[in-house]
Structure 1
Amino acid sequence: MTRTGIHAAITDLLFTRDITLQEAADRHFAPEYRQRTDGEWADRAEFLEHMAHLRDIVADGHVEVHEELYDGSRYADRHTAHVTKKDGSTVRMEVYVFGDFAPDGRFRRIEEVTLMLHGSDDDRNIGSARQGPRGGSDGE
C-alpha cells in the first residue's frame, strides 16, 4: 500500500493545474473523506467546494512540511502553506494535522488547526472558505 501525505495532496489539489480537481481528490482522498478545519466539519463534497474556491483565487504556492508522522493508519504533520493569490497578495498559514487513512492509503479523515502567519484579516478563513451563494466568496 502506498500512502499519500499532505505535501503530495495539497500540491496536486492546488498547484498542479494539469490534473483536474476530481483527479487530484480521487488520488488522495477516500470517498468517505471528512475534514474538520478550525472546528468546522466538511464532508467530501464540501471539501471539494473549498478546493474549487481556492483554485479560483490561488495563482501559485508550495507546501513546506516541517514534521510528519505515519503510525499504522494514523497520520500527523505540521506544515506551512505558502500561497500567492491571483490578486498578488500572499498568505502563509501554519497547519497542524491529525488524520487517518483508508485501507487503500488515501486520507479518510483529517482534523486540522490553522495559524495565520502572514496575510490580511480577510484571509483568516482561507483554510475553510467556499464560494458564496451569490457568486461572492468567503474570505476575499
Structure 2
Amino acid sequence: MARTGIEAALNDLLFDRALTLQEGADRHVTPEYRRRAYGRFSRIQETTLMLQGSGSDRDLGSAR
C-alpha cells in the first residue's frame, strides 16, 4: 500500500460523498496501523473492537 497523508485522508472522508467510511478506511489505513496517544501505541484492531465489539471489548489491552 502506498503511503498516504492526513490531508488526503481527510479530503476523502470529508468531501468525497460517494466514498463510504469503510472504503476510506481501507484506502488510508492498513491492518498494521498503530495509533499513538498519551505516549503509548494502540493497535487499530483494539480501537475497532472498542467501537464495534461487545461490551466486554471496550476495556481491551492498550486501548484502556
TM-score when normalising by structure 2: 0.50
Q: Secondary structure, in 3 states, of the residue corresponding to 1:19?
A: coil
The corresponding residue for 1:4 is 4
Please list every run of 5 or more consecutive structure 2 residues that lacks an aligned counterpart in the other structure: 52-57, 59-64
Q: CA deviation at 1:2?
A: 4.2
The corresponding residue for 2:20 is 20
Q: Deviations over 1:80-138 (max 9, x none)?
A: xxxxxxxxxxxxxxxxxxxxxxxxxxxxxxxxxxxxxxxxxxxxxxxxxxxxx7xxxxx
Give the Cα–Cα distance (whole angstroms) in 1 for the partners of residues 42 and 17 of structure 2: 24
Give the Cα–Cα distance (whole angstroms) in 1 for the partners of residues 17 and 42 of structure 2: 24
Q: Secondary structure, in 3 states, of the residue corresponding to 2:9?
A: helix
The total of aligned residue pairs comes to 48
The corresponding residue for 2:44 is 44
Q: Deviations over 1:18-51 (max 9, x none)?
A: 211111111111112111123353322416x4xx
Q: CA deviation at 1:3?
A: 2.8
Aligned in 2, Cα 1:40/1:29: closer, same or farther, shift over 3 Å? Answer: same
Q: Which has the higher strand share?
A: 1
Query: RMSD of aligned C-alpha atoms?
Result: 2.7
Give the Cα–Cα distance (whole angstroms) in 2 for the partners of residues 41 and 17 of structure 1: 31
Aligned in 2, Cα 1:40/1:17: closer, same or farther, shift over 3 Å? Answer: farther
Give the Cα–Cα distance (whole angstroms) in 1 for the partners of residues 30 and 12 of structure 2: 15
Q: Percent identity?
A: 50
